[in-house]
Amino acid sequence: MQNTRVIARLDIKGPNLIKGIHLEGLRVLGDPHDFAKKYYIEGIDELVYIDIVASLYGRSKLTEIVKNAAKDVFVPMTVGGGIRSVEDVRDLLRAGADKVAISTAAVENPDLIRDVSRFFGSQCMVLSLEAKKQPDSMWEVYTNSGRERTNLNAIDWAKQAEELGAGEILLTSIDAEGTRKGFDLDLIKAITDAVTIPVIASGGMGKAQDLIDAVTIGGVKAVAMADILHYGRDSILDIKNTMHENNIPVRLSHE
Amino acid sequence: MSNLVTVLDYGVGNILSVARGFEAVGASVNVTTTVEGIENAQRLILPGVGAFAAGMTELKKNHLDSAIIKLAHSGVPLLGICLGMQFLMDSSEEFGETAGLGLIPGKVLPIPPNSHDGDSLIVPHIGWSGLELSGDKKNWDNSILVNTPVHSDVYFVHSFFSQPNNQDHQLAHCVYGGNSLSAVICKENVMGCQFHPEKSGLIGLNILRTFLSI
């Protein structure tokens, strides 16, 4: 069985690593490079950088941040936030990114998913899907880092993105994000049942057991985590050891 | 021993990460786009991401392909990474048959869409998989993997894989859905990694360091 990937998610605003709750109420934590380097040395499998205000203001420092990271970090990096065109993707890949995560621009122009996967391969094209549960119990897709409603059903959108050529889905539950109360397993299960491409669970990890649930109940191939690592509530090594003890294949040796 | 490495930039692939990876293990990296740059190389890296035919077209455009072949025949160490490894073969079956550089006899084939027990398999193969000893090899002595423990996990992203005709040319493979896919190939001074050593953490960097000592 394929190793389950343990991913650190670094939300960026300007030059800073930040962390919020429900993608809001942001707190500055420091220089993203320091955190990235630490996670790399401790054995993280991948990093995801998301500029959470880029789609609002158009410009982002992500290219510089990734270029800088590429000096010290030698695991795959996914970069998202404010990507609007094939040219934007090319710039980020040349700066050292391996994949791009696209949310807002993909909703506005779904053909962008097809264009990116045609030019650079589907393995590069990660759909960033941010969803919030509605009173009628469907999950609605939000854009602009959880600020704007789209009227899109998350399950339909996931399927459409797969057909257009998305290679992976970074699935963030806005309800669970930053709460430390565990992933939204119903949402995760609904999406993993709907698509065959790998799904990365994001939002809500409070303890290692939440990850185990996302994999065994939710069916994800990877888990993204943020404040559990940023605040040092658990270590990558301990999380991976817990996975191993629970018979979830994981990359353990990295030296 | 010289620490010079030339990375070929033909417009495809993540040149920066490959260059940074070599710099991290003490290499002095020169990025080139020309035949002259290839001719002067003391070690050459052929990176690559994307489609085989499109990449070969780029290599042929400025006669980079014949310069690489000439360099390889002169005995200079050559390392192909990912698509760059697939170029080393005779041909690829990706979107019809396309000729490669023909430095290692064999073909590039699609990853079978089914696992060995019949389940459908997600292609591309993306993620960390272990390096295993191929054929009747007992160890990786005197090779680019001499410092790599068996079962080490490295990072793969691919839909196709290289199948050397001669089993001796395959040092290591990974297992995906029960299928063995070649991971490291070698014929004298010509070597290829299907995975990305520059994205495989300290284990990957160690492989780059070993290449520098060849």
Q: How do residues B56-73 score in pLDDT, each as one tens digit?
A: 999 999 899 999 999 999
Q: What percentage of chain A's residues is helix, strand, coil (to nearest 5)? A: 40, 25, 35
Q: Compute the mean pLDDT over every residue in chain B, rounded to the nearest whole number.
A: 94
Residues of A annotated catalytic, as ranges: 11, 130
> What is the pLDDT, as a whole number, of residue A156?
98
Beta-carbon contacts below 8 Å between A and B: 86
Q: Identify which of B49, B152, B199 has the shortest CB distance to residue A253.
A: B152
Test A74 with B201 for CB contact under 8 angstroms.
Answer: yes
Residue B174: count of CB within 10 angstroms of its CB: 22
For residue B113, name the pLDDT band (cuts at 50, 70, 90). Answer: confident
> What is the pLDDT, as a whole number, of residue A134?
95
| CA dist., res. B204 & res. A103, Å (int) | 31
Class (C level, CATH) for A5-245: alpha beta
**Cβ(A121)–Cβ(A86) under 8 Å?**
no
> What is the pLDDT, as a whole number, of residue A140?
97
Q: Identify which of A71, A94, A122 has the shortest CB distance to residue B20.
A: A71
- 3-state SS of B104-131 is CCEEEEECCCECCCCCECCCCEEEEEEC
- Residue B57 belongs to domain with CATH number: 3.40.50.880
> What is the pLDDT, as a whole number, of residue B49?
80
Test B24 with A72 for CB contact under 8 angstroms.
Answer: yes
**pLDDT at residue A50 is higher than 70:** yes
- Interface-testing mutation among B15, B17, B86, with chain A (most A C-beta atoms within 10 A): B17
User: Which structure tokens are listed for A136?
Assistant: 């009628």
B16 at interface of A, judged by CB pairs closer than 8 A: yes
- Taking CA atoms, what residue in A is nearest to B156? A76
Where do the domains of chain A lie? Answer: 5-245
> What is the pLDDT, as a whole number, of residue A254?
62
**Cβ(B168)–Cβ(B110) under 8 Å?**
no
Q: Identify the contact set of chain A against chain B, taking CB-CB distances under 8 A.
A: 2-3, 5, 40, 43, 45, 67, 70-72, 74-76, 93-98, 120-123, 167-168, 196-198, 221, 251, 253-255
Q: Is the pTM above the cut of 0.80?
A: yes
Q: Give the total number of structural domains in chain B.
A: 1
Q: How do residues A128-168 score in pLDDT, each as one tens digit?
A: 999 999 998 899 999 988 889 999 999 999 999 999 999 99
Containing structural domain, residue B43 = 4-212
Q: Compute the mean pLDDT over every residue in chain A, rounded to the nearest whole number.
A: 93
ipTM over 0.95: no
Nearest 10 degrees: Cα torsion B161, A169, A111, B14: -50
Q: How do residues A84-111 score in pLDDT, each as one tens digit?
A: 999 999 889 988 999 999 999 999 999 9
% of chain A exceeding 90 in pLDDT? 78
> What is the pLDDT, as a whole number, of residue A57?
61
For residue A59, name the pLDDT band (cuts at 50, 70, 90). Answer: low
**pLDDT at residue A58 is higher than 60:** no
